[in-house]
Amino acid sequence: MYRILIADDEPRHRRGLVERIKKLRPDYEVFEAKDGLAAIEVVKKHSIDIAITDIKMPIKDGLFFLEEVSKNFPNMKVIMLSGYANFEYAQKALTLGAFDYVLKPLNDVRIEQMLQKAEKKIEEEKREIQEKEKNLMRLNNTFPVYIEHQLNQWVKNGLAPIEDQEVLELFHKKSKGLVLVAGIGNFIQSTKECTYEDIHELKVNMKYWMKAALDPFSHSLSFFDESNMEHMITIVTEKKDKVLSDNLSEGIYSFVKDMKISYGFDVVIGVGNKYEDIAENIKEAYQTALTALNYKFFYESNWMIAYSELKNSRSGQVFSRYAEEIELEGAIRRMDAAQAYEVSQRLLVRMTEGQFPLPSQFKEMVTIIFLNTAKAVLNMLPEADFLRLVSSIKTNFESAQKYSELKKQIFKTIDMFIEAINDYGNNKYKKIMQTCMEHINEHYTEDISLEALSEKFGFNVNYFSGLFKKYTNMTFSEYLLNVRMRHAQELLKKNTFRIYEISEKIGYKDAKYFIRVFKKTFGMTPDEFRRLHSHNITKNTDDE
């Protein structure tokens, strides 16, 4: 039984046609409408198979009705009626997708022919749909590896003509459709302990659940990406009298929710562009879906990302130098972590201002900026640390799956920069200080000054003074005094030199100054120190 709609503004003509159709097809359910607008309302409430409409009607005419039906109910067979031959009307009607264009008046023979033609076409389409559903059910349940491989090749690279024909048999000719790519978070990690049979069963279940979720709204065929086990590709095609976009998100959300509840998977769906002929545009449909999915990098909380909504995203490589890069280099040189964090955040905002770049390009841009930073501070790093940083930047930035994750890696990299620079500086200056102290120990008898030493080691006097105190915990003067006094003690213990001779030997030309400094340091004069130690030496000798 079919449902048929008669739309005509002339009540007598409309009712007459209704009665004749009821006589020819008693099992038909027949509806009426007096204009194009009323006809649309009938179509929305009832699943109409065939519509016979006059072209000229008040309020909204038959062409308006045809245009709306073509967009929203593409499988309905619309037969246009006209009271006179008008080539322009006929051409427009056929262009808009009219199934047939018939001139009034109609007799029973003509009505019978018209109905048979429409019925035949509907039956053909039904058989095609049944065959397709049978094929899809078979494939979704068994899905030989060979077919899955073919489908992978088809969506990514295209196929040879013979192989292409085998795949195309799964779809209606010129089916409207789109592609979904489901990103299944932690699929590989969660299944690493599973057997092959367990993983196969899980995949079959997931494909079945996707089909069940979308079945009320569309036909679908799912298969896993050969090169990425965490991607499930679904080809979605239009069902009879169902507009593809209607309620599709409802089915997608149902699948996402089921995956979370049943397996704990965080699933994000990339929705590609819709095409009038999905088979003809399968590669583009897949690429748009994959691109949409990749934008989960920025849209971290979304469970569905539609390519059509990425209006503010940009593609194409745009590598421009930002002022913040110079600031970042300066902050890292100064080992100012807080400033480096703040500048890097401003830099990320600048790079995504107004429109998001492709995630892969964005990560590449950030990588280049930090590699340039590494080169800029190369003189402050040992080669091993430089190479380690470069490797870390390339690996960690590329592997970041989310914008927030990349930010964490950036802060971690800044810490690594500063730690490496600090360690290198500490080691480098430690060696310099050791050399400096050795120089003092060897030349303490000479007239040594802080200015002369800082010049010798290539430092500013004030900086060198601070560095010296940092590594020795005393000022240069205190350290030199300490060295001289230590040697003075050794010479006094030997009891072979006069006081003024010892003063000269440790670098003091003025013996009185030496005596004053010695007393201030040890609380006794050099003579008192000598007598004390001479007594101890004598006592020790007597004891023996």
Fold of 142-289: Alpha-Beta Plaits (3.30.70)
**Of all helices (H) and strands (E), which one includes residue 58?**
none
Q: How far apart are CA 462 and CA 468, in angstroms?
A: 10
What does the pLDDT read at residue 326?
83
Q: How far apart are CA 132 and CA 120, in angstroms?
A: 18
Q: How far apart are CA 155 and CA 287, in angstroms?
A: 8
Domain 444-543 matching CATH 1.10.10.60: the answer reads yes
Which CATH code is given to the segment(s) 3-123? 3.40.50.2300
What does the pLDDT read at residue 173?
58
Torsion angles phi and psi, residue 313, rounded to 5: -100, 155
Q: Which residue has the tokens 């309020």?
A: 59
CB 373 within 8 A of CB 325: yes
Q: What is the residue extent of each domain of the chain? A: 3-123, 142-289, 323-421, 444-543
Q: How far apart are CA 131 and CA 165, in angstroms?
A: 16
Q: How far apart are CA 424 and CA 433, in angstroms?
A: 14
Q: How far apart are CA 527 and CA 505, in angstroms?
A: 16
pLDDT in tens, the chain (544 residues): 799 999 998 989 899 999 999 999 999 999 999 999 999 999 988 889 999 998 888 888 888 998 888 888 888 999 988 876 666 777 777 778 888 888 888 888 999 999 999 999 989 888 877 776 666 565 555 556 777 888 898 899 876 544 556 556 656 556 788 999 999 987 877 787 888 788 888 888 899 889 888 888 888 889 999 988 889 999 998 876 566 665 788 889 989 998 888 888 889 999 999 998 888 899 999 999 999 999 998 888 889 999 988 865 555 444 456 778 888 888 888 888 898 999 899 888 888 877 788 888 889 989 998 998 888 888 777 788 888 888 888 888 988 888 899 999 999 999 988 888 887 767 777 778 888 888 998 999 998 899 998 888 888 888 888 888 887 888 999 989 989 998 999 899 887 889 999 999 999 999 999 999 999 988 999 999 998 877 654 444 334 3
In order of 320, 488, 502, the CA distances from 444 in angstroms are 57, 11, 13
Classify strands 50-54 and 77-82 as parallel, antiparallel or unpaired.
parallel
What does the pLDDT read at residue 169?
60
Q: How far apart are CA 402 and CA 413, in angstroms?
A: 16
What does the pLDDT read at residue 84?
64
Greatest alpha-carbon span in the chain: 152
At residue 51, the 3 state secondary structure works out as: strand
Q: How far apart are CA 8 and CA 384, in angstroms?
A: 86
What does the pLDDT read at residue 315?
52
The answer for residues whose C-beta is within 8 angstroms of residue 32's C-beta and 6 or more apart is: 5, 6, 7, 14, 15, 18, 42
CB 136 within 8 A of CB 170: yes
Q: How far apart are CA 1 and CA 527, in angstroms?
A: 131
Give the distance, in angstroms, between the CA of residue 72 and the centroid of all CA atoms in the same chain.
Answer: 35
Q: How far apart are CA 92 and CA 99, in angstroms?
A: 12
Type of residue numbered 157 = N
Same fold yes or no, 3-123 and 142-289: no
CB 110 within 8 A of CB 102: yes
